[in-house]
Chains A and B, each alone.
Chain A
């Protein structure tokens, strides 16, 4: 037992391990080297690293970009499960809650696969067991024949209360999308609730999570706006995640703004603007790009019903991760080093996949580089 105010040795041990694991991830120089290689070169280079042994095991079954992606997914699942095994007891719930997003993706794939009668092997290939639900439970779910049986089998899952309401309507048109949205809403609510518990570094993580919610909401608002027909208020309410720093009501007002002045005045009130301006400054190497320019940029896309620019989305993610890392250095014995590692690992896998897939589609290296999060 640890006295209040003192950091437990297990926490110090786990945080140090996460920091060391973080330094073993692929560096900028590694990415630059990989970018110059072809897919066989990438497979050889990554396969030689001690943490990517999966690539050699999968070589008989897969090849090319598919091999890299499959190995990276399995490596992600293994790394996250390993991370769960070393986190101290008091961080275990939070880590489990954080990783529940992988469970949501797996469960939705299984439910859709079961309902639409998609071959089980095909669905099995899509699962990334990086969350709390392990491969054996997922295999059991895959063996069930109806949607209701699968829902019953999930009774012990932390997000089951959300699924309980869908027993009767499972399979009706649009239900899976609503169920998925509700699961993510509940995921964020649970995470915010746990973060508010008062563990060291929680205040900073709370701010980080709320900003992530704001960015997700803003991107989704642009996506809803992008359709030719406008969407209803109910749709906005169903898709905006509560709990961010920007209230959902502000997004509603933003959605219904008609003039540039009205839009920019509301948008400038949000905390997204300075980060967006910084992301564009870094992306385009334009030091004079101001918050007003950022608001105008968003208005131009909003006005023309265009989707967000992917390169800017990636630039914002880079800034968010940089900030999380800065926080994890400032609070070295908190939950932040663990989350910084998990996030970095997630994007390492995304980067490897992007490079392999980009090369398979013959995209130029400069283009692929824009999608890399370092």
Chain B
């Protein structure tokens, strides 16, 4: 029943009181959830900053290793080794639940490979190619770790935003409106009570005059 249709009666007052109790309880729970999510966000952000720094370091190292491999084996040698790759690195996606938010969990698949799994012949290549391949495998692995954390942060921020809107709506709209409505019903009921009392006193006087 919409608030506008609630009548200033005892049952109406009970409805409003019940709704207020519910709204306050939800507000308290959502506030706790928001605090929890904020703590989780801070934790994830710290981790993401660290992982992003590691990612930048690994990117720089991968570029350096690619440069050295290109210097020693030539772009031709590096491309020939790259053409030999038979299994493409990928990842699997799963979810974990944090305060009801589904955060992604990414698991690398065939990112770190052994020398044999890489597909190039050992006798046709040198250790610079291994170094470059190692560096890029570590980079891809780090990209997946960072993507997991940053994807989680984006999800968490979305949910924090949604929860904050709910908390604000409860705090600044629903609960004040219900409070006003309760106060209005109470005033109306007091007024009605006073009118009844006056009416009864007047009837009593009229009866006494006639009698």
Contacts and interface: CB of A to CB of B under 8 A. Distances in A.
Nearest to B112: A228
Contacts of B80: 105, 108-109, 112, 126
A310 B114 contact: no
Interface string B25-37: 0000000000000
Interface stretch (A89-97, A180-188, A336-344): A180-188
A220 B123 contact: yes
Interface string A107-145: 011001100101000010110100000000000000000
**Most chain-A CB neighbours within 10 Å: which of B67, B87, B127?**
B127
Interface string B99-133: 00000000000001011101111111011101100
Interface footprint category on A: 35 or more
Given A69-B76, A357-B75, A310 B123 contact: no
B124 A357 contact: no
Contact of A219 (B70, B76, B127): B127
Contacts, number: 121
Interface residues of B, number: 33
Contacts of A229: 114
**Most chain-A CB neighbours within 10 Å: which of B67, B71, B84, B130?**
B71
A226 B83 contact: no
A213 to B, nearest CB: 10
Query: Main SS of the interface on chain A?
Result: helix
Given A69-B76, A308-B127, A310-B128, A224 B122 contact: yes
A107 to B, nearest CB: 11
Shortest Cβ-Cβ A-B pairs, 8 listed:
A180-B121, A361-B67, A184-B123, A354-B71, A307-B127, A357-B71, A177-B121, A227-B114
Contacts of B127: 219, 222-223, 226, 307-308, 310, 313
Given A222-B127, A224-B122, A350 B75 contact: no
B72 interface: yes
B79 interface: yes
Given A310-B72, A353-B74, A105 B87 contact: no
A227 B76 contact: no
A116 B83 contact: yes
A104 B115 contact: no
B54 interface: no
30 contacts: A108-B80, A112-B84, A125-B76, A126-B80, A174-B119, A176-B119, A177-B121, A180-B124, A184-B121, A220-B123, A224-B122, A226-B127, A228-B114, A231-B116, A235-B116, A239-B122, A307-B131, A308-B127, A310-B72, A310-B127, A310-B131, A313-B126, A313-B127, A357-B67, A357-B70, A357-B74, A361-B63, A361-B64, A361-B67, A361-B71
A81 to B, nearest CB: 18
Interface of A: 66, 69, 73, 104-105, 108-109, 112-113, 116, 118, 123, 125-126, 128, 173-174, 176-181, 184-185, 216, 219-220, 222-224, 226-229, 231, 235, 239, 241, 307-308, 310, 313, 350, 353-354, 357-358, 361, 363, 368, 371
